[in-house]
Amino acid sequence: MAAGNDTPEARLEQLGLALPKVPTPIGRYRPWRLAGGLLFLSGQGPRKPDGTWHQGKVGAEVSVAEAHEHARITGLQLLAVMQDALGSLGKVEAIVKLLGMVNAVPEFREHPSVINGCSELFEKVFGEAGRHARSAVGMGSLPNNITVEIEAIVAVKE
């Protein structure tokens, strides 16, 4: 593969993926904040192409496989915010940390399997730089009854 074709954007294209539009925040916050060489991304959730949300409780009306896909969709949202903030995904030095929240029934135990949807995407797009520290936790509820919410901390190339 030619060097110009080995960019995060080229990898997305090779995967047949397109970044969605960066959504307008639903509260009084910014989608991102750059500070000290780190890009902090606000939590994103799984939007459908029509702008509505994937909703429901994982472990009840939403399966692990469906929620895994929702985490991948959320990862695409996070990539769109990164690109908006930096101008290019090529400016990402590394994905430092993810916090993945799963809207799950109390007895649910497969939070890591769900958030892997985002983690796997980041590894495919960034290679080793996409491997990150992570927390995957369950929540009693999430805004708009979304299935997952994920936030990230990203190291930026100088």
Can you give 112-141 as a three-state secondary structure string?
A: HHHHHHHHHHHHHHHHHHHCCEEEEEEECC
Domain spans of the chain? 3-22+37-156
The reply to whether CATH 3.30.1330.40 applies to domain 3-22+37-156 is yes
What's the pLDDT score for residue 26? 80
In angstroms, rounded to a whole number, what is the distance separating the alpha carbons of residues 125 and 111? 22
Structural tokens at position 39: 């890009």
> How much is the average pLDDT of 117-143?
98
What are residue 48's phi and psi, to 5 degrees?
Answer: -80, 165
> How much is the average pLDDT of 121-141?
98
Residue 14 has pLDDT above 60, yes or no: yes
Residue 3 has pLDDT above 80, yes or no: no
The mean predicted confidence, pLDDT, of the chain is 95
> How much is the average pLDDT of 121-144?
97
Residue 1 has pLDDT above 50, yes or no: no
> How much is the average pLDDT of 130-148?
98
Decide which of 4 and 58 is more confident.
Answer: 58
Q: Please, are residues 97 and 153 in contact by the beta-carbon 8 Å criterion?
A: yes
E strands within the chain? Answer: 32-35, 38-44, 92-103, 133-139, 148-156
In angstroms, rounded to a whole number, what is the distance separating the alpha carbons of residues 135 and 122? 15
Give the pLDDT band (50/70/90) at residue 4: low
Q: What is the pLDDT of residues 42-68, one digit of tens each?
A: 999 999 999 899 999 999 999 999 999
Which residue, 118, 104, 124, is CA-closest to 43?
118
Decide which of 158 and 66 is more confident.
Answer: 66
**Dihedral through CA 99, CA 48, CA 103, CA 71, nearest 10?**
-40
Pair type for strands 92-103 and 32-35: unpaired
Q: Which residues of 123-153 are buried (b: 16+ CB within 10 A; e: fewer)?
A: bbbbeebbebebebebeeebeeebbbbbbbb
What's the pLDDT score for residue 24? 84
What are residue 65's phi and psi, to 5 degrees?
Answer: -60, -45
What's the pLDDT score for residue 8? 97
